[in-house]
Amino acid sequence: MTTDASGIEIVTLTPAFAGVAAALHQTGFDDCWDESAICDLLAVPGAFGLLAFVPAGIEFDGEITAGDIPLGFVLVQTVLDEAEINTIVVDGNARRHGVGRLLMQNVFAQLQNRASARLLLEVACDNDAAIGLYTGLGFGEIGRRRGYYHRKDGPAVDALVMERV
């Protein structure tokens, strides 16, 4: 478990938290994953997940939390010396609080322990905040997937393929 100065804690995402992760995924994606999909991804050899939350009794966003508040999670799959972010989501109310950065920093630490030399991810080309985060963390664009993200209320959006070595 990792705790940062803001009181946010990072724990291993296990199947026991799949319901929490599925609820979080609904806040960030039109094509969201259910508990079963999250459990299936966690069961893949080399996969791991991390969950960010604020524990009860900690001040977050100017208020003392009455109970644990899940903020976001990330799912990663590793194969040999390469890894890919399968998904990362931060609840809308927790964005711009460093949750995504903290999750990614913990992913980097996990991957260092696994000797992963390359990390890949895909991000919607219109998600400026996420692109800024990833660029600031050392990712660069290496490709594009046309029409990858299907939106309920609009046209499909390209995905940028980004890499960090």
In the residue annotation, 122 being an active-site residue is answered as: yes
Structure confidence at residue 4 (pLDDT): 56
152 has a pLDDT exceeding 70: yes
149 has a pLDDT exceeding 60: yes
Q: Could you tell me whether strands 82-90 and 118-124 are parallel, antiparallel, or unpaired per DSSP bridges?
A: parallel
Structure confidence at residue 79 (pLDDT): 94
Confidence of residue 146 (pLDDT cuts 50, 70, 90): very high
Contacts 24+ apart (CB under 8 A), 29-32: 29/87, 29/89, 30/149, 30/150, 30/151, 30/152, 31/149, 31/150
Select which of 35, 59, 63, 134 is catalytic. Answer: 134
Distance CA 45, CA 80 (A): 11
Q: How does pLDDT run across 4-60, given as a tens digit for each residue?
A: 557 899 999 999 999 999 999 999 888 889 999 999 999 999 999 999 999 988 887
The amino acid sitting at 49 is G
61 has a pLDDT exceeding 80: no
HSE-up (13 A, CA, CB side) for residue 122: 12
Structure confidence at residue 29 (pLDDT): 87
Structure confidence at residue 3 (pLDDT): 54
Q: Which domains does the chain have, with CATH numbers?
A: 2-116 (3.40.630.30)
Structure confidence at residue 153 (pLDDT): 83
Q: How does pLDDT run across 84-137, given as a tens digit for each residue?
A: 999 999 998 899 889 999 999 999 999 998 888 999 999 999 999 999 999 999
In the residue annotation, 134 being an active-site residue is answered as: yes
DSSP letters for the chain: -EE-TTS-EEEE--GGGHHHHHHHHHHH-SS---HHHHHHHHTSTTEEEEEEEE-TT-EETTEE-SS-EEEEEEEEEEETTEEEEEEEEE-GGGTTTTHHHHHHHHHHHHHHHTT--EEEEEEETT-HHHHHHHHHTT-EEEEEEEEEE--TTS--EEEEEEEE-
Structure confidence at residue 5 (pLDDT): 54
Structure confidence at residue 1 (pLDDT): 58
Structure confidence at residue 96 (pLDDT): 87
Select which of 82, 122, 149, 163 is catalytic. Answer: 122
